[in-house]
Structure 1
Amino acid sequence: MKRKEYILNGIKLIFLSIVFVLYIFPFFIVLINSFKERKDILLNPMMIPNKLNLSNYVDAYTKMDYLHAFANSLIITVFSVALITLLSSMTAYIFVRRKWKFNQFMFFFMVASMIIPFQGIMIPLVKIYGSIGMMDNKWSLIYMYIGFGASLAVFMYHGFIKSIPVELEEAATIDGCSQLQTFFKIVFPLLKPTTVTIAILDILWIWNDFLLPYLVLISPDQRTLPLSVFYFYGTYTIEYGPAMAALMIATIPVIVVYLIMQKQIIKGVLQGSIK
């Protein structure tokens, strides 16, 4: 039996190692090419550079106006995620605790909206918002992210809130809490696993999103990091070295956040999946 377990564990280890290599290989290619000149990349993109050429990083940092683009991405992501979690949790709470037919209709309507692909509504969306002067504005983009992200968040919160005993809220009401105080002092802290899960999914989605910012944000001073990276790809030429360097410095904030909060992220995902 022990020999059989060793063999199975060895097979699992080999399989997971292969998956890891396949997963990390594109990142490795981008990393090594970010230190090479364009001619070296075209000659042999798989070759490890003989020396580390940091000029690509300096060029990328300057051309993409990194700090400004980073600030735009940070503002959009933080406000979008914060508002999605806050508004969606409050909406799901009302849907669960108020057994109105209108609430049931709205809940199923929001769940049904998740099957509509963004590509099917993006042209009417841009046309309508453009006609009322809401384009080229990061706050309009935040508003759109709230609309697109609320349905999934409400669905996840709805299932979790149903498992919270009503007696806890009744006890808080007896102690003199208003409904708003009951939600923020009793219910919302219990939603932490779901909140962490939703925040992780939305941070990855909004920070890395390209299509919606590309449609909404036009001015260079409004660009997010993915948009700033995209503009290294011109009509007739591609600056491969600076583009690779731009990709690397655009992913650094996400990697740093994950390394700092990996325990909380894994714990939140596991608890959210169990619930």
Structure 2
Amino acid sequence: MSEKMKHAGLWTTLFTAVSLIWIVPMLLVLVNSFKDKTYISQNAFSIPAGKAFVGLENYTRGIERTNLIGSFGWTVFVTVGSVGLLLLCTSMCAWWIVRVGSTTAKTLYILFLFNMIVPFQMVMFTLSKISDMLNLNTPWGLWIIYLGFGAGLSVFIFTGVIKSIPQELEESAMIDGASVPRIFFQIVVPIMRPSIISVAILQTMWIWNDFLLPYLTLDMSRFKTMPIAIQYLRGGYGSVDMGAMMGCLVLAIVPIVVFYIICQKYIIKGVMAGAVKG
């Protein structure tokens, strides 16, 4: 066996072990979603059988207690709107930063990079206060908040991609009489498509699973996303309906896992496209 094959086998074994560390917790949630809540507390690692097996009872009880269908609708609304706004605004901003290249543009780019490293805890209380003052405590107001927090990574990736696009293409279109919006949407955007899909996947996974931002900003009496609705299964004095919670967690995880499996091939392609030039 050659040295390269030995190294490949070693890396395969290592990454398989790391993958299991991530997969096992999800499998435990799936297994326990079919168990009676009493048996979950007694032995979370056992296979549901006999009296422990309750079928879909945990799922139906969880949906009824949390209004999970309504929360699912608000989660989709927040995720789709936020990701759409992020892609539109940050791609145009990155194009402007690269093509203008002025001191203002470079300063703005540095601020976007700074956005990626500032700890969320530094701004969470101020954010909650300002969102209430500006009436951003709604799902559509949350689009703007996610735009602010997700812009750093998106602009960083898109800037790298646009630097690799020959400016002569845009100049030729301009000579032919194309307007600025037409140049962007018909020439730049198609070239950026792999990175746009990659950023959309990453931002969708973040926003779909996010608990803290909606919890800090949304009006809980009117709107709840799925992570928040599931949290409401916690009762008084620390009691938790573990069975219903496991069922709801599975329902919350499945859509985003399916979405990732379908789109995962675009992630590496998009990130590599953004790494061509720095």
Asked if TM exceeds 0.5, the reply is yes
Provide the rounded CA distance (Å) in 2 between the counterparts of 1:213 and 1:57. 24
The counterpart of 1:105, out of the listed 101, 104, 107, is 107
1:16, distance to aligned residue in structure 2 (A): 2.9
Q: Is the 8 A contact 2:115 2:149 kept in 1?
A: no
Tell me the residue number matched to 1:206.
207
Tell me the residue number matched to 1:177.
178
1:71, distance to aligned residue in structure 2 (A): 1.0
Q: Is the 8 A contact 1:33 1:45 kept in 2?
A: yes
The residue identity in structure 2 corresponding to 1:165 is P
1:169, distance to aligned residue in structure 2 (A): 0.5
Tell me the residue number matched to 1:167.
168
Q: Given the two structures, how large is their TM-score scaled by the length of structure 1?
A: 0.91
Structure 1, unaligned runs of 5 or more? none
Distance 1:6 1:168, change over 3 A: closer
Percent of residue pairs bearing the same amino acid type: 39
Q: Is the 8 A contact 1:126 1:216 kept in 2?
A: yes
SS in 1 for 2:194: helix
Provide the rounded CA distance (Å) in 2 between the counterparts of 1:115 and 1:17. 31
1:272, distance to aligned residue in structure 2 (A): 4.4
Superposed, which structure 2 residues align to 1:1-275 within 5 Å?
Answer: 2=1, 4=3, 7-50=6-49, 51=53, 53-135=55-137, 137-236=138-237, 237-265=239-267, 267-272=269-274
1:260, distance to aligned residue in structure 2 (A): 3.1
Distance 1:6 1:195, change over 3 A: closer
Q: Is the 8 A contact 1:34 1:241 kept in 2?
A: yes
Structure 2, unaligned runs of 5 or more? none
1:266, distance to aligned residue in structure 2 (A): 5.0
Provide the rounded CA distance (Å) in 2 between the counterparts of 1:134 and 1:30. 34
Runs (4+) off by over 6 Å: none
1:85, distance to aligned residue in structure 2 (A): 1.0
TM-align CA RMSD:
2.0
Q: Is the 8 A contact 1:169 1:182 kept in 2?
A: yes
Provide the rounded CA distance (Å) in 2 between the counterparts of 1:57 and 1:206. 23
Provide the rounded CA distance (Å) in 1 between the counterparts of 2:242 and 2:124. 30
The number of equivalent residue pairs is: 273
Distance 1:95 1:16, change over 3 A: closer
